[in-house]
Structure formats: C-alpha cells, structure tokens
C-alpha cells in the first residue's frame, strides 16, 4: 500500500523540519503538514499548485495519493479522518480543482469531520481579474467551512496552518480551507512553526458546567422511562467506553443515530436500534413514550425527529449534551442544557451517576425489541439486499469498517450490519452525498491497513466516483467493494411508489455499465452474484483475495426500506411494509 514510513525517527524528522531555514511557501506547507503528523495527503495537481507539487517531488518524507478526481480526494480524506479521528488533508488547484471539492467540504461540514483543505489560487496580483482558473473559493465555501483563510503573505502561512489544524480538530470539528495564491507558494521567508495557537474569538467549552451535570443526574434518578439518543458526538469525542459505563450505571436504554452507530455496541442489551425515518420499531416507540430524553452528541436532525412538534411528547425533561451551544434549543426545547465535550461530560457524570427507576421500562422495551425485530421477507428465487448485508456482516464477523453511499443500501447497511465498534460505520449522514461511499473507503483503508474495509454502494452512487477504482488497483488498496445493484435509484423509486402514487420518474438505471467489466478495466478483480449461493461464494472469494475486489450483487428491483415514516408524520407512525 501507499503509506510508506520514512526511514528517519520522528524526533530526527521533527528537528530537521523545525530548522529556521529561508524556504518557499510550498516547502513551508509540506513541513507544516509533516509537523502536524499528516501521513497521507489526497490530491490532484494543477497550474496554481505547481510549486507545491514541485516541492513534493523527491521528498521521501511526504506521502501524497493522486486520485482521479478532486471529489475522490476529499471524500478519501474524509474517510481517513472518520476512521482515525485525525485531521484529513487534501489538495487541489484553483478554479475547477477547488470547486470540485465543494461537495466534499459540505459533506464534512454537515457531519463535523475534521479536514484541512488546501487549494491553490491565482497569483495575488491577478486575484479579482477573472484570471484563468480563478474562483473565489473562500467566498464560495464560507457557509460550508468552519473557517477559511486566503493567505496573502507567505510569512503568515505557518501560523495559518497551525490555526487551521487547531480549529478543524477541536470543539465541534469541521473542515477548514486554506487558499494559497501561486505567488505565495513560491515566496520565501524564514520558517518558524508556532508551538501554540492563540485565537481570541475561539475558545470551545470542553468542560461542562457541574451544576448542569448534577441537574441531569437528578433528573435521571427521578425518571422511570428514560432514553438516550447517542449521536456522532459520541464517536467524535471517542467517548464510547464512557457511554457504555454510563448506561450500565444509570440503566438507560439507548438508541444510536445513523452516525452514532457503533458509538454504542448493538450487542448491548439496552441498545434499541436506530431511530427516525427508517428507524427500528422499538427505537421509535420508546422515544415517543419516554419521560426523560437525553441527547448525547446528537443534533435532533429532521430524519431522526420527523415531525418535531410530536417528537418525544411524553418527555417531561430533555437533556442535551453537545459541544456546540448553538445546537442546544435549535430544534427541541431543552430543559437541561449541558455544553461540553461528550467524553468530559460523561467522565464528570460518572463520578456520581446513580440508576434511574427504569427496570420496569427496560423489561417493557426489551420485550418490544424481541417482539418487533427488523424483518424482511427473504426469497429463494431472488437475491434480497438485506440478505446481502447480513451475509457481509456474518462473513466479516461484524469487525469490518463499513463505508456506505447514500440511499436504500445505506439504510439496509445501517439496519442489518450490527455495529459494535466506534469509527466502523462511515457514511454521509447530514448532506447525504452520493459518490461518497467508495472513495471514503480508500481513505479509511489507508488509515487502517490492518482492518477489512468494506464499501457498500448502490448502482447509482457507484457511478459517481467509480474512477477511483484506478487508485485502488495501482496502489493495491484492498477495499472490498459491494455494489448492491437493483437497476434503479432505489430510494427515489421508493418515495415515488409510496408518496407519488407509483409515478416513476427518471429512476431507471438500465444501461449502467457492466460493473464486473468496469472493475476489470481498471485492474480490479470483479465478481457477480445473482442468488444467495453465488453471493456467499463471490463475497468469500473477495475477502480471501488480497487486494481490491468489486462484487456486484444483482438484487430485487422493487425492494423497499422498512420501517418508514413519511414526512409530516411522527416517528411512531411507521409504515411497516413487509417487515411485519
């Protein structure tokens, strides 16, 4: 695989990098990235970043992965960041290079993923003149970045990079963009990398207010039907262990949001599933009956709450733990706000946590969970997508990192791959970005060379970034790619069936390429399965084959994701379809 480690020791490299030499902006950038412990950068060169790429030439310490599209680069950096918790880094040139990153930046912003995005720009002397390949990328991305910089003076560059990494990786994480004009990347100055960051307007609250935590603990002790919604914040702050202990101690059942999956083990007796539009029956019902609701690093997204003023109507109190104060009270009114890092909050809470009066409630909801499991009608003649996911789960023993694209297969993966570890489910939750699934797996695989990485895609989304098959083949990145091919845009088809009265409009993907041949064209092994037996055989072969493999599963076309709550309804108003 591509990540080579340098021969030098870390200390030796650091000492070399910190030398106060007079160097170009490009060299400063590379040194700064190495000082920030970046071990792989995803990117694509072009005119405005030529000096930066020139500095990379022959630099044995710096690893760069050339993707086939800037969008592939940023999704890979995103997958890298989600799998590790480290800051993902990507580089693109000015104009079209930069604008090709926009979807990826928005994806990371919506899901609070730490990225540092480097773009080139035209020289400062021609900025604002509609120069060749000029785009105002800081302006374009202002609403979708946590912060952005246009570097006008090379002497500011090291400080800006230091600040960018700090901002991206602290508080509520997110993408930070650094736009470097071409002349700045070639200007020289003495290199000085700051040790500390001081940003006056940026002091995220990490430690919670003790009083609020105590109020929460009191509310728990008084509650009879408490529930926890655990979200992405649990994963981002690496607070899974704390959450498990907190739940064991307080005896509160847990639902995990889409991006919270794995943040709390699905094998735990108090886990009730994922709530929301395609949530589990018991998860949705339990939220509607609970008397105390505790949101932990979850932002009450509309796909979770559905109709907000009918959401958790019996909750006498809502507690909301979040690192971002702006999330508290944004969607649901909160009686006990706790601003702070989830891990820090739970650690403090654990000092005094006592059980809720929840035993009767627990036996009620766990019985409901047994009586209403997720179900689908299996078939001996047609291959069912849910079966494929279950089979992938079984053959990877639930231990793989799974990335998904967006749509039906994403929901089936969320429902039927029982996640037990944090940072094992990687998916575009907030923005719902098709084309994310496959390139994000490349980043996750580079970050976790020892783990099996499975990328589950639909036949629609697979065609949005399939060009990155090339880099899997060239660099032997052993991602196992599943294409759940139902020959339609399944989720759109499902909505058109249920909400638009079977008026199927522009959803037919007939004429897609032969995915096996497509993989082979890039030098990736391709396999196809059309029934259960073939599916298992092909997938097992894929797992046993070193290197990347694509398996196309030709599944039933008309399959729907159930349960389903349609828009405008409360979450307990579920269409159960053939799951009942």
Partner 1 sequence: MIRKHTISVLVNNQPGVLQRVSGLFGRRGFNIESITVGESEEKGLSRMVIVTTGDNQTLEQIQKQLYKLIDVIKVVDLSSHPMVARELALIKVNAEPAARPEILGVVETFRAAVVDIGPCSLIVQVVGDSEKIDAMVELLKPYGIKELSRTGATAMIRGAVK
Residues contributing to the site for partner 1 (CB under 8 A): 138-139, 142-143, 146-147, 150, 167, 172, 199-202, 324-326, 329-330
Tell me the three-class secondary structure of 213-230, residue by residue. Answer: HHHHHHHHHHCCCEEEEE
- The residue among 214, 204, 196 whose CA lies nearest residue 237 is 204
Smallest distance from partner 1 to CB 147, Å: 4
Quote the CA–CA distance of 557 and 570 in Å, as a whole number: 28
Catalytic residue from among 27, 36, 70, 242: 70
Q: Which is nearer to partner 1, 190 or 329 (CB)?
A: 329
Residue 86: active-site member = no
CA dihedral 553, 273, 442, 458 (to 10 degrees): 30
Q: Which is nearer to partner 1, 102 or 388 (CB)?
A: 102
Catalytic residue from among 491, 494, 532, 559: 491
Catalytic residue from among 146, 162, 173, 182: 182
Residue 533: active-site member = no
Q: Which is nearer to partner 1, 167 or 283 (CB)?
A: 167
Residue 133: active-site member = yes
Q: Which sign, positive or negative, has the C-alpha torsion 49, 51, 57, 61?
A: negative
Q: What share of the chain is helix, strand, coil (3-state, %, to 5)?
A: 40, 15, 45
Degrees (nearest 5) of the Cα angle 151, 157, 160? 85
Smallest distance from partner 1 to CB 132, Å: 23
> Do residues 218 and 336 make contact, with C-beta atoms less than 8 angstroms apart?
no
Residue 212: active-site member = no
Smallest distance from partner 1 to CB 148, Å: 8
Residue 182: active-site member = yes
Quote the CA–CA distance of 446 and 137 in Å, as a whole number: 28
Smallest distance from partner 1 to CB 309, Å: 14
Q: Which is nearer to partner 1, 310 or 325 (CB)?
A: 325
Which residues does residue 295 pair with via DSSP β-bridges, in sequence order? 229, 320
> Do residues 451 and 425 make contact, with C-beta atoms less than 8 angstroms apart?
no
Buried b (16+ CB within 10 A) or exposed e, 157-177: bbbbbbbbbbbbbbbbbbbbb
Q: Which is nearer to partner 1, 179 or 183 (CB)?
A: 179
Q: Which is nearer to partner 1, 202 or 495 (CB)?
A: 202
Quote the CA–CA distance of 321 and 455 in Å, as a whole number: 32
Smallest distance from partner 1 to CB 106, Å: 12
Smallest distance from partner 1 to CB 409, Å: 31
Q: Which is nearer to partner 1, 217 or 339 (CB)?
A: 339
Catalytic residue from among 12, 132, 567, 580: 132
Quote the CA–CA distance of 437 and 452 in Å, as a whole number: 15
Task: Please report how the helices 70-84 and 437-447 are oriented relative to each other, as an axis angle in degrees rounded to 10.
Answer: 50
Smallest distance from partner 1 to CB 179, Å: 11
Catalytic residue from among 86, 133, 347, 382: 133
| DSSP string of 310-351, one letter each residue | GSSTT-SEEEEEES-GGGTTTSS--SEEEES-HHHHHHHHHT
* Residue numbers annotated as active site: 70, 132-133, 182, 491
């Amino acid at each position: 695989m591509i990540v080579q480690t340098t021969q030098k020791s870390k200390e030796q490299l650091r000492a070399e990098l910190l030398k106060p030499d007079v160097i170009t902006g490009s060299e400063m950038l590379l040194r700064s990235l190495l000082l920030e412990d970046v071990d792989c950068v995803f990117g694509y060169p072009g005119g405005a970043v030529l000096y930066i790429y020139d500095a990379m030439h022959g630099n044995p310490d710096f690893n760069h992965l050339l993707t086939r599209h800037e969008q592939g680069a940023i999704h890979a950096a995103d997958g890298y960041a989600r799998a590790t918790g480290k800051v993902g880094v990507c580089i693109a040139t000015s104009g079209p290079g930069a604008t090709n990153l926009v979807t990826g930046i928005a994806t990371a912003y919506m899901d609070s993923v730490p990225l540092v995005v480097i773009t080139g720009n035209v020289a400062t002397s021609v900025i604002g003149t509609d120069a060749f390949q000029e785009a105002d990328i800081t302006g374009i991305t202002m609403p979708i970045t946590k912060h952005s910089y246009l570097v006008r003076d090379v002497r500011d560059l090291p400080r800006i990079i230091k600040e960018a990494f700090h901002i991206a990786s602290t508080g509520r994480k997110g993408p930070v963009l650094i736009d470097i004009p071409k002349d700045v990347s070639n200007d020289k100055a003495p290199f000085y990398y700051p040790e500390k960051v001081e940003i006056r307007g940026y002091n995220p609250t990490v430690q919670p207010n003790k009083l609020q935590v105590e109020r929460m603990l009191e509310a728990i002790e008084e509650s009879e039907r408490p529930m926890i919604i655990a979200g992405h914040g649990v994963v981002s702050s690496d607070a899974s262990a704390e959450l498990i202990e907190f739940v064991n101690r307080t005896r509160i059942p847990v639902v995990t949001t889409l991006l919270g999956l794995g943040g709390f083990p699905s094998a735990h007796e108090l886990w009730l599933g994922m709530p929301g539009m395609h949530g589990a029956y018991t998860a949705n019902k339990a939220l509607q009956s609970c008397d105390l609701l505790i949101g932990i690093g979850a932002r009450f997204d509309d796909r979770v709450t559905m109709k907000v003023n009918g959401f958790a109507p019996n909750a006498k109190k809502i507690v909301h733990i979040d690192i971002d104060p702006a999330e508290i009270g944004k969607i649901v009114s909160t009686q006990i706000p706790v601003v702070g890092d989830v891990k820090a909050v739970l650690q403090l809470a654990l000092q005094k946590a006592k059980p809720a009066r929840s035993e009767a409630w627990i036996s009620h909801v766990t019985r409901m969970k047994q009586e209403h499991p997720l179900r689908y009608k299996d078939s001996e003649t047609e291959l069912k997508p849910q079966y494929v996911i279950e089979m992938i789960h079984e053959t990877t023993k639930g231990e793989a990192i799974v990335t998904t694209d967006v749509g039906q297969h994403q929901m089936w993966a969320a429902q039927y791959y029982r996640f037990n570890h944090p940072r094992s489910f990687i998916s575009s939750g907030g923005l719902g970005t098709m084309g994310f699934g496959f390139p994000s797996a490349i980043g996750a695989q580079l970050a976790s060379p020892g783990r099996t990485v499975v990328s589950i895609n639909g036949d629609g989304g697979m065609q949005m970034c399939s060009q990155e098959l090339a880099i899997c083949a060239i660099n032997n990145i052993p991602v196992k790619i599943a294409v759940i091919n139902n020959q339609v845009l399944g989720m759109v088809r499902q909505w058109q069936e249920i909400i638009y009265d079977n008026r199927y409009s522009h959803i037919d993907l007939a004429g897609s390429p032969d995915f096996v041949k497509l993989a082979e064209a890039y030098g990736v092994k391709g396999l196809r399965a059309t029934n259960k037996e073939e599916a298992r055989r092909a997938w097992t072969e894929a797992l046993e084959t070193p290197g990347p493999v694509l398996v196309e599963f030709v599944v039933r076309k008309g399959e729907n994701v159930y349960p389903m709550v349609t828009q405008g309804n409360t979450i307990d108003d579920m269409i159960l379809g053939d799951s009942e």
